[in-house]
Amino acid sequence: MIIKNNNSKFITLEGIDGAGKSTHLNWLSDHLRRQGKNVLVTREPGGTPLGEALREILLHQAMHLETEALLMFAARREHLDKVIVPALQEGTWVISDRFTDASFAYQGGGRGLNETKLETLEVWVQQDLQPDLTLLFDVPTEVSQQRLSKNTSLDRFEQEKQDFFQRVRDAYLKRAAQFPERIRVIDSGRTLAEIQTDLEHVFSSL
Ligand code: TMP
């Protein structure tokens, strides 16, 4: 069992590529710091030197879908051990740009990997640790594809077709329906101001 400090919270941000999650990440960390919280921002795949090396491979090299899932969880194991758990134990709030829901959405929904295998890896790697709150930034795939089309260098995931992202989005929404206490769906098609008001509200009740 992973014991955390009562003052800390583990928050994860999720969404399909092009859902605008990175824009909100900066605002959110500033918002929490203004409230006096100690905040650590990190990301997956990545967050440690080994995790960042795995990220390079994962984002640019073709591989079997199970290899992809195993490497995502290998990077996560390292991330939990070196960064996430120590920070949570010392009372720091951790905001991770993606975590295990992304594996269920991308490797499960997008690539079609069996959910039972993902559940086995989830329990193996993170035991009983789950985020306190997950913000799922949701947009229709037509909108995200249009945002991505403005980007000139797309990685292996971003180059996927719209039907792949539709499956990823559906899998995310299925997770949100499965874990309504933990996952908040944020309509990311609205203006920044509207989304920030929504986020302020979510955090005032956390
Ligand atoms: P990012 O572009 O949001 O930094 O994420 C990198 C890519 O990695 C993104 O396209 C989603 C993908 N990904 C997975 O497929 N599975 C995972 O478990 C994680 C954490 C990310």
pLDDT tens-digit readout, 140-185: 999 999 999 998 899 999 999 999 999 999 999 999 999 999 999 9
Return the percentage of the chain with pLDDT > 90, whole number.
92
Q: Ligand 1 pocket: which residues have CB below 6 Å?
A: 17, 43-45, 72, 97-98, 102-103, 106-107, 157
pLDDT at 77: 98
In angstroms, the Cα distances linking 137 to 14, 38, 46, 102 are 6, 24, 20, 12
Return the percentage of the chain with pLDDT > 70, whole number.
100
Q: Determine the average pLDDT of the residues in 60-72.
A: 98
Which of 12, 64, 98 to mutate for ligand 1's pocket (most ligand atoms within 8 Å of CB)?
98
Q: Tell me the C-alpha distance between 141 and 97, whole Å.
A: 20
- 42 and 49 in contact (C-beta within 8 Å)? no
Q: Which two tokens stand for residue 153?
A: 């260098």
- Does the model's pTM come out above 0.85? yes
Nearest CA to ligand 1 atom 13: 102
Q: Tell me the C-alpha distance between 78 and 76, whole Å.
A: 5
Q: What is the band of 16 on the pLDDT scale with cuts at 50, 70, 90? A: very high
Nearest-Å Rg of the Cα atoms of the chain is: 16
Check whether 205 has a pLDDT greater than 90. no
Letter for the amino acid at 92? T
Atom of ligand 1 nearest to the CA of 110: 15
Check whether 130 has a pLDDT greater than 80. yes
Q: Determine the average pLDDT of the residues in 180-195.
A: 96
Per the listing, tokens 């928050």 go with 11
pLDDT at 152: 86
Check whether 104 has a pLDDT greater than 90. yes
Which of 60, 106, 118 to mutate for ligand 1's pocket (most ligand atoms within 8 Å of CB)?
106
Q: What is the mean pLDDT of the chain?
A: 96
Per the listing, tokens 């990175």 go with 22
